[in-house]
Amino acid sequence: MAQQAYVTETADGGSGPERRRDRFRRLLGRPLSGWRGDPRIWRRGLVLAALAVLVALVMLLHAQIPNAVGNLGSLTETFLPWLGLFVPVLLLLGFLRRSATALIAVLLPAAVWLNLFGGLLSDKNATGGDLTVATHNVNADNADPSGTARDVAASGADVVALEELTASAVPVYEKALASTYKYHAVEGTVGLWSKDPLTGVQAVDIKLGWTRAMRATVSAPDGQVAVYVAHLPSVRVKMEAGFTARQRDKSADALGEAIADDRLPRKILLGDLNGTMNDRALNAVTSQMRSTQGAAGSGFGFSWPASFPMARIDQIMVQGVKPVSSWTLPETGSDHLPVAARVSLTTSS
C-alpha cells in the first residue's frame, strides 16, 4: 500500500517551512523596500560620494600635499591610518541616505586604505632571533622612575634605550637597572643599557645645541651592531602656525646623515622620533632603515599617548639585520608606551 505524504498546513494555506522562508524574505527585504524601483538612488548622496572620493585622494596622494603651509602634509601623514574611520561612517550615511552612488564610491577609500595599511593587520611575529631591544621615552616628569625601569627590564631586552632622562633621575635608573645590565652609557638626555659590552660611545650632533642622541657599538655574541639612540625635537599643532616641526625635520636630516656615514653594516635605531614612518620629514632616516613593526609586528603598534595611543612615534628601525618580532610593552609612569623588538644579527634584512 502506497504511503501518503502529509504536509502540515498553516492558517494561510502554506507549509511551516514555506511560511518561515516568506517571513525571512520579508524581514530581509524591509530595509531595501525603499530602494526598489526608485531611480533617485543614483541621484541621492552625491555629496557623500564626493567626500568618499576626496578621502581616497588624500590617502592616495598624501605625499603631494604641500608642507609649505603649516606642514599640512606631515600632519596628514602623522595620522594617515585614522582616515580609514571615514569608511564605515560614509558607508552608514550612504545606507541611511539610500544612495547607491555613495555606497559604490565608499569602495574607493576602502580599497586605498587596505592597500596602504592592510598588511599591518596580519600578525607577522615569528620565533627566533638573537637580540632583543627596547626603547622608552620615560618622560622627564615621571613620578616613578624606579618602577618604570623595572617594567622595561622585565621585558627581557638585551639592550634598552631610554629618552628624556633628567640629571636627577639618571642615578635612579642606573641603580634600578644595574642588576640586569652590566654596561651602560648616558649622553645628555638619552641613555643605553646593555647586557653586552659597549664601545665607541659618543654623542651624535643633531643640530640642537644640546645632546639628545648618541651612538655605541654593542658587542653581542652574534656580532657587533651600531646602536643609535635619539630623541628628536617635539612637534606642535598651533592654530596660527599649523604643524610646527622645522627643528624636528632639521634634526632628522642630521641623524640620517650620521647613520649613513656609519661604517658598521648592522645598525639599529632606538628612540622617540616624534614622527611616524609615513611622515616625509623623516625620509633621511626612513629611506635607509626599515621599521620592525611594519616588518615583523602585529597591528599599528601605536605608542603615544599612552592613555589612548594614536600614533607610533617611538621607533625601532634596523639596517643590515632581520626583524623577527615587534610589540609594545604595558603602560608605565610615562606618557609613552615602551616598544620592543627581536632581531636576528646572523640574517640580514
- List of domains in the chain: 16-121 (no CATH), 131-344 (3.60.10.10)
Q: How confident is the model at residue 67 (pLDDT cuts 50, 70, 90)?
A: confident
Rounded Cα–Cα distance for residues 317 and 152 (Å): 18
Torsion of CA 293, 304, 230, 158, to 10 degrees: -60
For residue 254, the surrounding DSSP H or E stretch is: helix 246-261
State CA 111 to chain mean position distance: 19
User: At 131, which amino acid appears?
Assistant: L
Q: How confident is the model at residue 235 (pLDDT cuts 50, 70, 90)?
A: confident
Residue-wise pLDDT for 87-100, tens only, equals 999 999 999 999 99
Residue-wise pLDDT for 168-206, tens only, equals 999 999 999 999 999 999 999 999 999 999 999 999 999
Place of cell 620592543: 340
For residue 316, the surrounding DSSP H or E stretch is: strand 314-319
Q: How confident is the model at residue 15 (pLDDT cuts 50, 70, 90)?
A: low
pLDDT at 300 over 80: yes
Rounded Cα–Cα distance for residues 33 and 310 (Å): 40
- All three cell numbers of 343, joined, read 632581531
Number of Cβ within 10 Å of residue 331's Cβ equals 15
> pTM value?
0.86
pLDDT at 11 over 90: no
pLDDT at 122 over 80: yes
- The confidence score (pLDDT) of residue 90 equals 97
Beta-carbon contacts of residue 266 (< 8 Å; ≥ 6 apart): 223, 224, 225, 226, 319, 320, 321, 345, 348
Packing angle between helix 107-117 and helix 86-96, nearest 10 degrees?
160
Rounded Cα–Cα distance for residues 48 and 105 (Å): 8
